[in-house]
Amino acid sequence: MEENQKKEINYNGSSIQVLEGLEAVRKRPAMYIGDISEKGLHHLVNETVDNSIDEAMAGYCTDIQVVINEDNSITVEDNGRGIPVDEHPKLKKSALEVVMTVLHAGGKFDKGSYKVSGGLHGVGVSCVNALSTHMISQVFRDGKIYQQEYEKGKPLYPVKVVGETDKRGTRQQFWPDGSIFTTTEYKYDIVARRMRELAFLNAGITITLTDKRPDEEGNLRQPEVFHAKEGLKEFVRYVDRHRTSIIGDPICLKTEKDGVPIEIALLYNNDYSENIHSYVNNINTIEGGTHLTGFRIALARSLKKYSDEDDQLRKQIEKAKVEIAQDDFREGLTAIISVKVAEPQFEGQTKTKLGNSEVNGAVQKAVGEAMANYLEEHPKEAHQICEKVILAAAARIAARKARESVQRKNPMTGGGLPGKLADCSSRDPKKTEIFLVEGDSAGGSAKQGRDRHTQAILPLRGKILNVEKVQWHKVFEAESVNIILQAIGVRFGVDGEDSKEANIDKLRYDKIIIMTDADVDGSHIDTLIMTLFFRFMPKVIQEGHLYIATPPLYQCTYKNHKEYCYTEEDRMKFIDTYCNGDADDSKLHTQRYKGLGEMNPEQLWDTTMNPETRLLKQVTIQNAADADEIFSMLMGDDVEPRRKFIEENATYANIDA
């Protein structure tokens, strides 16, 4: 009691901590940039480039240079107007210093400067400054070069003139703070993906990416230039380049409705999945929102009206004895939707779902008009699209019958679960996990070695279906797919509906862990299962439930020293530490684990299943368009790009010859 009273007495005004300037960003960086790992590190580049993109969207910037320097610092330079350097009327200091050192300061908050702006959190370049050990800002305006430098967000001197120039624009260079980020090494591919995406979304601008870091052989990568004259038209072709289009040229629209600029490009291909990628102010809204809803409603309405009014199509529908649903209009559809919203409201699991209700109606109007014109002017393509829709409706009905057939045969044990499932005793989905294990042998070891209270084991036997290339109903005819769906508690077509949307409300496990051998066959099975989740149950990935277990590649023994090595680098480190780098030392013994079945239950628990010691890789979708393109390339019919991808990435995938 006395202790509590003492705490209350000491709780006064001095207990309230006020973080001045950018100290709050350094104190809680994840609140501002999402996390402090690789994702957050790359977010710094995006925030800096977003300022240049804002200038481009306002019509003042055409060229952006992004450089990854040898020391892993980043330089971003544009040919926009240049950040103002005159005195801020309220704060009585240079506007450049205000932009660089005050959170939520910048032209994007003044709608007279920018109608819309990018940047997911709106924290701007001041946040980048706060999380950098050093930053240099240069502004090219009025024939002069203005400069200011900072350390951890604090100016080292007032803005000053350091030279003359005939250029116009802004140049930023920053060094990420290694005491904050878990890594400070930039990945070229991650930066390149975002720059390519921005070039597609902003037709006409040129973004040049240069990597000044030499590779292991001392060679430099050639600068890569991203430029899309036709914008989304090129974007949808790029995403769909491993598929076969059934309509030739993309259907495109670029307009403004109710004050909302709208740009859309779409294609229909001969595959069976729907691939729609939506953006708001250049932000990838992976959870969709009102713009996506408006698009789907208008597309379905336009195609249904056309098919109902066309004699030939109406007869085909009557002959097929199907009732066409909204889902049917989206099979084989690839679309890019980009809207610009002055005051976007984001919601959802990852704050990337648009909530502005007015956008729904605006998109419906735009798509309705564009599709009516297209269908009237392109009767051949219109018939091809509608005929595919009729086939999709027939497949949906066949899928329902397949599901009902599975339930009637009831190959499951009590409680509606597969017979091979060794379930855990806990019924709290937040504390449980299931291992999808390759083969009965490894499944047996996993069952013996697991924590029976929280860990369930589902052995997978036989070939996993490649869902990339089959019709919807064929998926539900595959036992390998059905036992996974039944085990984890995912349902389709709940309450008599035929929806293709996966219902994961009754997901039985918090973690779904793919556990396969560390060889090429295991990697293939990983990809097949990930494809199933990505195409049919993307919410499982989006909400952070899918993982890949990492079994060790080796067990290395030297005298009394024994270690599990998960990578070739780990093995070489062991040899360097205990054998002085001599890989041929005769006391040295290396056991290569090619299969999970080679480990006894204790070893499997220690290395791969124990939550205290294991290494799990979480499957994420950072860029849905890129994930879509990679899956269609890996699992499709086009052999050459798949062979090239495997050759370039084999070292990262632990693939054996």
User: Among all residues, which ones are annotated catalytic?
Assistant: 438, 517, 519, 521
CA separation, residue 598 to residues 53, 594, 601 (Å): 54, 7, 10
Could you please report the per-residue DSSP string of 552-577? -SEEEEETTEEEEESSHHHHHHHHHH
- Return all residues near 562 (Cβ < 8 A) that are at least 6 apart: 555, 556
How many angstroms separate the CA atoms of 244 and 233, rounded?
A: 16
341 alpha-carbon distance from chain centroid: 22
Contacts of 582 (CB under 8 A, 6+ apart): 575, 588
User: How buried is 224 (Cβ within 10 angstroms: 0-12 exposed, 13-18 middle, 19+ buried)?
Assistant: middle
H or E segment at 151?
strand 144-151
Q: Is 163 strand, coil or helix?
A: strand
Name the DSSP class of 514.
E
Of 208, 228, 211, nearest to 219 by C-alpha is 211
Helix (H, G, I), strand (E, B) or coil at 591: strand
Alpha carbons within 13 A on the beta-carbon side of 529 = 28
First to last CA, the chain: 69
Please give the Cα distance from 582 to 606 (Å, whole number).
28
Q: What is the DSSP string of 376-394?
A: HH-HHHHHHHHHHHHHHHH
What count of other Cβ atoms lies within 10 Å of the Cβ of residue 98?
A: 19
377 in Cβ contact with 314 (< 8 Å):
no
Q: How many CB atoms lie within 10 A of CB 610?
A: 13
CA 500 – CA 491 distance, rounded (Å): 10
How many other CB atoms sit within 10 Å of the CB of residue 464? Answer: 21
Largest CA distance in the chain: 87
Q: Which of 648, 613, 645 is nearest to 626 (CA)?
A: 645
Q: What does residue 112 show for φ and ψ, rounded to 5 degrees?
A: -75, -25
Separation of CA 179 from chain center: 26
